[in-house]
Amino acid sequence: MTINIIMAAVLAVLYSVGFYLIMQRSLMRVVLGLVILGHGTNLFLQVAGGPSGAPAFVGSVAPGAMADPLPQALALTAIVITFGTTTFLLALAYRSWVLRGHDQVQDDLEDHRIRSMAEDWGNEQEEPEETGTAAGRGTAPPRETS
């Protein structure tokens, strides 16, 4: 059993677009990214399940000819999880729109504090440039004698 190269490319595009949209600051884009990831997951599970087979009824066909019901059960579970998460995020986006008039995610104050601390620490690590004629030519400054 080999995977079709076209299906692999479609899965790669779906996951890439889904993850790209999830990383955006707009909640509607996050919702669309989650929905696309859900569709990609369902497609992945169906492709991983292999070719279709006979119904999985004991005694009707040989066990090797039966279809594996596990990928279908996992796909149904993924559909339910995606639906529940999508409705929750849509409620958050609507609430954000009602309260603020937009659905952009704001920066966290703690993120600003950590970023400024990191910038301050980075500035302390840099050594100031030396001034003078010796430093500019690459020669050592004259030694002091006592």
CATH of the domain at 100: 1.10.287.3510
Average pLDDT score over residue span 53-79:
81
pLDDT attached to residue 62:
80
Residue 74 lies in a domain: yes
pLDDT digits (tens, 9 = 90+) for 121-145: 877 766 555 555 544 455 555 556 6
pLDDT attached to residue 135:
47
Q: Please count the other Cβ atoms lying within 10 Å of the Cβ belonging to residue 37.
A: 20
| CB contact set of 104 (below 8 Å; sequence gap of 6+) | 25, 26, 27
pLDDT digits (tens, 9 = 90+) for 1-56: 566 889 889 999 999 999 999 998 888 899 999 999 999 999 998 888 877 777 77
Contact 47, 3 (CB under 8 A): yes
Q: How many domains does the chain have?
A: 1
Residue 124 lies in a domain: no
